[in-house]
Amino acid sequence: MSGQALRLRGRVTIGGHIQTRRPGCRRLSIPEGPGGRHRFAQLDDTAALPRSRFPWTPPVELRVTARVSAPNLPGTWGFGWWNDPFSLQLGLGGATRRLPALPNAAWVFYAAPPNYLALRDDHPAQGLLAATFSSPQLPVALLALGLPVAPLLMWSCTARAVRAVARILVREDAAVLPLDPAQWHTYVLTWTEDVVRVTVDGVVAFSTPVVPTGQLGLVLWIDNQYAAFPPDGRLRMGSSASPDAWLDIADLSLSRLTVDPDAIRVRADRSELTPAGSQALSKQRR
């Protein structure tokens, strides 16, 4: 396999850090602070790109060894592919123009209460999840026709109707990962045109035919945010009070795959971090 450096860019709020702990291991950290103030640390390869130039399409495979500072942190953290659907950049001053879009993602995603990031009532929406979102690639002009619907989100009765319509447009799947994320675990996310599969320490933990569409970017992050659109229709967003918190990322690699009828084999490899020495990884299941 041939190696090539990923073009990941680090972004942090005041007090946040992205540090190299040792060769092949980085720590993304945010400081203790009150609610109402957003804190995050993030690595991604999409910051300066329009969605049409996001670098990843199937078949690809992400491998990473990770742990967090505590199992029940406020906010969210995770890693995987997404289309950064809610960003708004108008292209002023030569910046990239990017408007909101329907979500597409395949990732390991931790969401603490009051987060509730599922449109289907029968899917898990909190805790440590392996999850996917799959949405059609609608033109921006067509999405703009939905702007008059936004005021309906202010009332729970009409917001529930909007949520029901969103379920038609956005397919999703998710499963809880029953493990202690404060211990080292090795996660492998495989995304092909037909399936997304997540293995943890060599054991398949999630497999779904609900696959994202379009071109996606790689993201790894930790923050203190919450966003909730639960069955009662009460849309809520904000930032939680949080302690000092960190996400350690080690042995990160991203591989383009060739799929044949018998197996998935690696065609070309992109490694962002030099593989570190072997770790004593906990394989305990709860």
pLDDT one-digit tens code per residue, 149-168: 666 666 677 878 888 888 89
* pLDDT score of 144: 54
Residue owning tokens 């291991």: 25
Confidence bin at 140 (pLDDT 50/70/90): low
Give the list of residues 6+ apart from residue 277 with CB closer than 8 angstroms, or none: none
Residue type, 72: N
Among 3.30.70.100, 3.30.365.10, 2.60.120.200, 3.40.50.2300, name the CATH number for the domain at 9-271. 2.60.120.200
Positive or negative torsion for Cα 136, 177, 251, 25: positive
- Low-confidence winner among 130-134, 140-144, 259-263 (lowest mean pLDDT): 259-263
Helix intervals (H) in 77-174:
140-144, 156-169
Closest CA to 276 of 20, 61, 25: 25
3-state helix vs strand vs coil in the chain, percent to 5: 10, 45, 45
Residue matched to tokens 């008059």: 148
> In angstroms, rounded to a whole number, what is the distance separating the alpha carbons of residues 66 and 45?
19
| Confidence grade of residue 10 (pLDDT, cut at 50, 70, 90) | very high
Instruction: Report the share of the chain in percent with pLDDT over 90.
Output: 63
Burial class (CB in 10 A: 0-12, 13-18, 19+), 74: buried
pLDDT at res. 45: 94
pTM for the complete prediction? 0.85
Report CA-CA distances (Å) from 101 to 6, 86, 122.
25, 6, 24
Distance in angstroms (rounded) separating the CA atoms of residues 165 and 142: 15
Retrieve residue 145's tokens. 């026709």
70 vs 183: CA distance, rounded Å: 9
pLDDT band at 5 (very low <50, low <70, confident <90, very high): low
Backbone angles phi, psi at 53, to 5 degrees: -115, 10
